[in-house]
């Protein structure tokens, strides 16, 4: 908490990016939060307000997360950068007692393991959330439930053409949740002849995932479940980046009350942690 003010001190890493800008704008509008640092690789030393048109006019963009952490001692650092930086950023935060809230997707299971160990070692809580949209969290919850009843499942995820990683973190997490919920995985329908390589998608946690990348899309997913004579489709669409902000703010408010590494929003949404 900010000394004396009772506000949560928040830094944003990747502040000049598409998500980062919106997080900055949203944090500044919260009565219980104080924006204390903006970090990015672009516009370093310039006010973010000049580079991206958001933020506190006098606050310059920091080039390195360590400088910002040492100088401003944030309680929480929201990270929307690139997969290659997100783990190191999270570890730097945890090392200095700040809780990372990582929205960057593409972290591996080994990265998550390393972050989790650092959380335990330093007794600092952290969150990694592949999808902050509340509707997407509900979609995963419903898919998990439906997978107990309908044996065959495939995921179609659709994103804008600038998305760096495939499949999406949400699709992978959905597949893992489905895999856990149904225990023994149902056999994936067999294809006798592949006329195009990869046409049946990639398999994660026993679930085929198909990734679509197109201009005009933002973030969309359909979980299709089939049983004898019936198909259930559960669809979620993020129409603009505002769909993620309620979840980001919730994570910023709750992360310091958690223990260790929490993956996904479920525990704060459903279990009242």
DSSP 60: B
Among positions 208-247, residues that touch ligand NAD (CB under 6 A) are 244
111-145 core/surface letters (b: 16 or more CB in 10 A; e: else)? bbebbbebbeeeebbbbbbbbbbbebbbbbbebbe
Q: To 10 degrees, what angle do helices 134-146 and 169-182 make?
A: 30
Nearer to ligand NAD, 103 or 179 (CB): 103
Q: Catalytic annotation on 257? A: no
Q: Catalytic annotation on 236? A: no
Nearer to ligand NAD, 72 or 132 (CB): 132
Annotated catalytic residue within 163, 204, 210, 220: 163
3-state secondary structure of 272: coil
17 binds ligand NAD (CB under 6 A): yes
132 binds ligand NAD (CB under 6 A): yes
Among positions 70-109, residues that touch ligand NAD (CB under 6 A) are 80-82, 85, 103-106
16 binds ligand NAD (CB under 6 A): yes
Neighbour tally for 233: CB within 10 Å: 10
Among 7, 30, 41, 205, binds ligand NAD (CB under 6 A): 41
Of 60, 105, 59, residue with least CA distance to 84: 105
3-state secondary structure of 235: strand
User: What are the residues binding ligand NAD (CB under 6 A)?
Assistant: 13-14, 16-20, 39-42, 80-82, 85, 103-106, 129-132, 163, 244
């Amino acid at each position: 908490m900010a000394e004396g003010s009772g506000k949560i001190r928040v830094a944003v890493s990747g502040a000049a990016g598409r998500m980062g800008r919106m997080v900055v704008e949203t944090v500044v509008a919260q009565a219980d939060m104080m924006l204390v640092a903006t970090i990015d690789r672009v516009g370093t030393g310039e006010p973010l307000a000049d580079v991206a048109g958001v933020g506190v006019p006098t606050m310059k963009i920091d080039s390195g997360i360590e400088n910002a952490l040492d100088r401003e001692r944030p309680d929480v650092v929201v990270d929307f950068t690139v997969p290659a930086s997100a783990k190191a950023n999270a570890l730097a935060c945890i090392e200095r007692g700040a809780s990372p809230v990582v929205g960057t997707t593409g972290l591996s299971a080994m990265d998550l393991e390393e972050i989790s160990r650092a959380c335990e070692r330093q007794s600092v809580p952290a969150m990694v959330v592949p999808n902050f949209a509340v509707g997407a969290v509900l979609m995963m919850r419903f898919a998990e439930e439906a997978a107990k009843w309908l044996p065959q499942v495939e995921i179609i995820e659709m994103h804008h053409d600038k998305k760096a990683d495939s499949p999406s973190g949400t699709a992978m997490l959905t597949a893992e949740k489905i895999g856990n919920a149904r225990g023994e995985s149902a056999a994936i329908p067999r294809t006798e002849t592949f006329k195009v390589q990869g046409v049946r998608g990639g398999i994660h946690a026993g679930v085929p995932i198909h990734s679509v990348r197109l201009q005009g899309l933002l973030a969309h997913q359909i979980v299709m479940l089939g049983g004898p004579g019936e198909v259930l489709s559960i669809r979620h669409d993020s129409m603009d980046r505002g769909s993620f902000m309620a979840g980001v703010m919730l994570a910023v408010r709750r992360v310091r009350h958690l223990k260790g590494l929490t993956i996904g929003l479920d525990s704060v949404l459903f279990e009242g942690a």
